[in-house]
Structure 1
């Protein structure tokens, strides 16, 4: 039973004195430098770079959101100006209509007065 699984496990688990554990061989981040302090330094630099990147991305998003809100404020201001302009036009229209009504009433009063005057002339 040399090909059986238990025999293969037993044969592979015997390590010589000079052999490293398998886990340590793959855990190294750099083949050139085995110094733990250097690895910690690289990890700290990578973490710092990540924090800076995330910070820059969040600032860019905040700027984009601020730009969107500025654009929205501009649109709201334009809409408000349009509403005010329409309100002014409406008020001017109503004022003209009121003037026309008053002129019409004055004209009717004048016409009634001239009729009365004509009657008096015919009676006299």
Structure 2
């Protein structure tokens, strides 16, 4: 069973990565914009949330800051937080809409029963990988 699940998840991951190639942000930048849509975070918090080291997250933030998608609360040092800018919110919304459109196209031929099965599987994915960050603040 493990091998079958791993192969399906790998295939899903590859397809999502390919589908997202035409979007204006990298996968990491999209994840950061999504996280920051819920409120400011420190570099350390962002790094932990994305499973990367703080220096790697600093590089991601530096590029996003240069694009004016994010800004820091102060100089780039310990204790400063990163927040999404108005332009970053528009980019995040465009990316979210683009990804939803692509996924909607992939789901177009699903039957109502297929859609119910897919929705029923979501709690299993949450149990395995954690709920999406956007939903964590709304869970009891």
Q: TM-score range by the shorter chain?
A: under 0.3
> Which structure shows the higher helix fraction?
1
> Which structure shows the higher strand fraction?
2
- TM-score between both structures, scaled by the size of structure 1: 0.24
Largest Rg, 1 or 2: 1
Higher RCO (C-alpha 8 Å, min separation 6): 2
- TM-score between both structures, scaled by the size of structure 2: 0.21
